[in-house]
Structure 1
Amino acid sequence: MLITLLAWVPTARAEANRGEVAELRLQRLDDGVYLSTSLEFDLPELAEEALRKGIPMFFVMEAQVMRDRWYWSDRQVAEATRYLRLSYQPLTRRWRLSTSTAPFTNTGLGVALGQNFDDLDDALSAMQRVSRWKIAESAAIDADTGHTIQFKFRLDMSQLPRPFQIGAVGRTGWNLLVSRSGRLALQEGAK
């Protein structure tokens, strides 16, 4: 009985840091497929504590478009990734959210959209809303075949400083994963 209870406790704690996708909208337009979503999650306590000490946290949004196939497993026809970096500037007491289509590097080179916020809740609110994100070109989508979109939002542990990566292994206080799948409607006039 005690062994069962010990095995159950970490699972419950890991689930506590999972969020949910409150809304997932997919639009098929002439130039491609667009995703809009609203996420609901709480930042893990350890991540928030590290942020307040000035250590940036990195997040990844991924969307995969899978084409239905009856004779084999579904085939991936498109993939889009968005990288986010949330940081706190202790001297100015401001939060900064940077968004990029490429992973952040230590060189500082690359293109990223940056926004400043006075409050952590405002920065998290901006992270939790995605509006009209183009995830596939129209040429990749077949009008007469069904498609499934798989969306994930997670904390990217691989970009944390090494001591945090080593200390986070096996600790559920760092877990953050939000995912959901949705079906892309067939175009009007298709089978």
Structure 2
Amino acid sequence: MVSIMPAYVTVKRLLTSIVFVFVSVQTVQAESFYIADAHTSPAGNGYLLNAEINYPLNARVKEALYNGVPITFVQEIQLIRVYPVLGEWWQWRNNIWSTEIRYVLRYHDLSQQYLLHSMATKTHRNFPTMEGALNAMGEIKDLSLPPQHTLETDNLILRFRSQLDLNALPSPMRPGAFLSSKWDLASDWYEVAWPSN
């Protein structure tokens, strides 16, 4: 016996599938780091970078943090000189400067404080909430870019991103973290516009 499914049942199943895929994509995006705002401003003979990075942590990373695992965050910043070879169709890109800003976030169970350690400045700050620590880490304020590379901003790209450093996790955790999408938290590369003259 051949049964023919009514069209409304097929359409209903199709719409349900589309909604499920949309919600799944939104959930994945909600658990990724993202750059909310970034801009440069002239200062002397160089430029300063100001940015805001949002760090939504999922339940797996929070659980590790609560259990005493230090979590390392890396902010990568690059200056790339673009040389058009065939106009906009083919360009040669040369990374002329890059730096990393590293932070280690820990939860101290006894004091119930979040400890944020800046690897660049070797300073520690305490926060009563995780959100406070993540907000402080996500604020890049007046970061000086190397003036010797920013004298000419035509064909110069400033981009940055942030991600977890899975290699900094304790050895027993690394294989599972590399294989799990729960630990794959990274923002996309964000290109910052230069101020117009």
Q: Which amino acid aligns with 1:172?
A: S
- Pick aligned residue for 1:138 from 135, 144, 147: 147
- More displaced 10-residue stretch of structure 1: 35-44 or 140-149: 140-149
Q: Based on CA coordinates, which of the two structures has the bigger radius of gyration?
A: 2
Shift in Å at residue 173 of structure 1? 0.9
Deviation per CA, 1:157-182, whole angstroms, max 9, x where unpaired?
A: 00000111011122111121113112
- Percent pairwise identity: 21
- Separation of aligned partners in 2, 1:171 and 1:164: 11
- Separation of aligned partners in 2, 1:68 and 1:185: 18
Corresponding residue for 1:94? 113
- Separation of aligned partners in 1, 2:45 and 2:117: 26
SS in 2 for 1:151: strand
Shift in Å at residue 31 of structure 1? 4.5
Corresponding residue for 1:68? 82
Q: Is this contact kept in 2: 1:146–1:184, CA < 8 A? A: no
SS in 1 for 2:83: coil
Aligned residues: 170
CA 142–116 in structure 1, closer or farther in 2 if over 3 Å, else same: same
Does 1:128 find its partner at 2:138? yes
Q: Is this contact kept in 1: 2:166–2:178, CA < 8 A? A: no
Shift in Å at residue 154 of structure 1? 0.3
Corresponding residue for 2:166? 157
- Separation of aligned partners in 1, 2:70 and 2:180: 19
Q: TM-score, normalised by structure 2?
A: 0.77
CA 163–45 in structure 1, closer or farther in 2 if over 3 Å, else same: same
CA 31–56 in structure 1, closer or farther in 2 if over 3 Å, else same: farther
Q: Which amino acid aligns with 2:184?
A: N
Q: Is this contact kept in 1: 2:75–2:160, CA < 8 A? A: yes
- Separation of aligned partners in 1, 2:112 and 2:170: 22
- More displaced 10-residue stretch of structure 1: 150-159 or 71-80: 71-80
- Separation of aligned partners in 1, 2:153 and 2:50: 23
**Which aligned runs of 4 or more in structure 1 are off by greater than 4 angstroms?**
none
SS in 1 for 2:84: coil
SS in 2 for 1:169: helix
Corresponding residue for 2:192? 182
Q: Which amino acid aligns with 1:94?
A: Q
Corresponding residue for 1:19? 33
Deviation per CA, 1:118-163, whole angstroms, max 9, x where unpaired?
A: 11111111112111112x3111124262311111100110000011
Q: Which amino acid aligns with 1:87?
A: R
Unmatched runs of 5 consecutive residues or more in structure 2: 1-16, 86-90
- Pick aligned residue for 1:41 from 55, 63, 72: 55
